Amino acid sequence: MKLIFLAAAFFLAAEFFRWIHARLRPVPVLLYHFIDGEGEKSGLSVSFANFEKHLKYLMKHNFRVISAEEFLHASQVGKRLPANSVIITFDDGDEAFYTKVYPLLLKYQIPAAIFVITGWIDRPGYLSWRQLRIMSPEVVTIGSHTVSHRYLPDIPLDEVRKEFVESRQILERELKRPVSFLSYPVGGFNRDIAGLAQETGYMAAFTTNRGRNFWQRDLFALKRVKMTDPSTQPHVLWAKFSGYYPIASEFRPKNPDGGQNKNSFPGTDEVIKY
C-alpha cells in the first residue's frame, strides 16, 4: 500500500510539474563555441558529427528552433511561443561557424545566432568580414561579443560602454544590418553592465548563466545551456532541449557578478568549467 501511495504521489507531482512547465513555456538557449576545435579551443568544442546529431534530434523530436528575433518579439508583445521552442547560439566567431555550421543550418533550415568579437574578425581561425556578409540574415543573427572580449566586471563602466557602442557601430556599418543582441564575454555582467547594454541600444543580452528563459522576463540576463560532446546521449539531449535539464543547474552556485566560475585556459578568457 505504501509503495502504491508513493507511486501515485510521484505521478501527480510529475504531472503538476509538467503542467507548470507547459504554462510557463521556458525557452532553452543552447550555447556552443567551437566545432572540431583543437588545442586551447578543445575544451569548448563539439565535433561536427555530434553537432549534426543535435540538429537531427531536434528535427526528429519536433522541437521548434526559433530565431533570437522571434523570441524577442514574443517577449515584447506578450505572445506565448509554441511548446518545444529552442534557440541556438554560438559565441566568439570561430571560422568553423561559416565552413561547418552554416551549411548545416541551410541544409536543415534552422536559424542560429553568432556573437562575434569585432577586434578578432579577420584573424586566422576566426570569421572574416566577407564570410559574415555572405551569411543570410534570414538564417544567421549576428550579434556583438564586444570589441576585445575583456571580462566586463573587471573594467570601468566607461570602458564597458565603449566596448558596447563601438562593437555595435562597427558591425552595423560593415554589415549594413541592425545589431540588436549582445553576449557578455565569459558571461560576466552585473546590474550596471546590463543597464548599459540597454542604454547603448541593444534589445537583449545573453549570459552564460545556467537556466531557462521565460517570455516577458529580463531580456538583459538571458540564460543559456552549455552544449558539449558528452551532451549527445539521447536522454541528455532531451533534458537540455526541453528545458528540464537547467532546473537542477539553477541551484548550483554562480559568481555574484553574473558569470560562471572563471576558470580560463591559457591565452584566452574563455570559461571551460560551468
pTM: 0.81
Q: What phi and psi, each to the nearest 5 degrees, are found at residue 125?
A: 90, -5
109-152 pLDDT, tens digit each: 999 999 999 999 999 999 999 999 999 999 999 999 999 999 99
Task: Please enumerate in sequence order all residues whose Cβ is within 8 A of that of 250, keeping only pairs 6 or more positions apart, or say none.
Answer: 210, 211, 212
What is the CATH topology of the domain spanning 27-249? Answer: TIM Barrel (3.20.20)
Q: How confident is the model at residue 192 (pLDDT cuts 50, 70, 90)?
A: very high
Q: How far is CA 61 from CA 54, 55, 84, 85, 234, in A?
A: 11, 10, 9, 12, 11
Structure-derived torsion over alpha carbons of residues 258, 206, 35, 101, reported in degrees to the nearest 10: 180
Percent pLDDT > 70 in the chain is 75
Calpha distance 274→143 (Å, rounded): 22
Going from N- to C-terminal start, the domains of the chain cover 27-249
Residue 4 has pLDDT above 90, yes or no: no
pLDDT at 163: 98
Cβ-contact 117, 149 below 8 angstroms: yes
Q: Does residue 161 or residue 17 have the better pLDDT?
A: 161
Q: What is the mean pLDDT of residues 247-261?
A: 47
Three-state secondary structure call for residue 49 = helix
Three cell numbers, residue 243: 528545458
pLDDT at 240: 78
pLDDT at 184: 98
pLDDT at 230: 78
Q: What is the mean pLDDT of residues 246-258?
A: 49
Percent pLDDT > 90 in the chain is 61
Q: What is the mean pLDDT of residues 25-47?
A: 87
Q: Does residue 207 or residue 273 have the better pLDDT?
A: 207
228-237 pLDDT, tens digit each: 887 777 777 7
pLDDT at 219: 94
72-119 pLDDT, tens digit each: 999 988 888 888 999 999 999 999 999 999 999 999 999 999 999 999
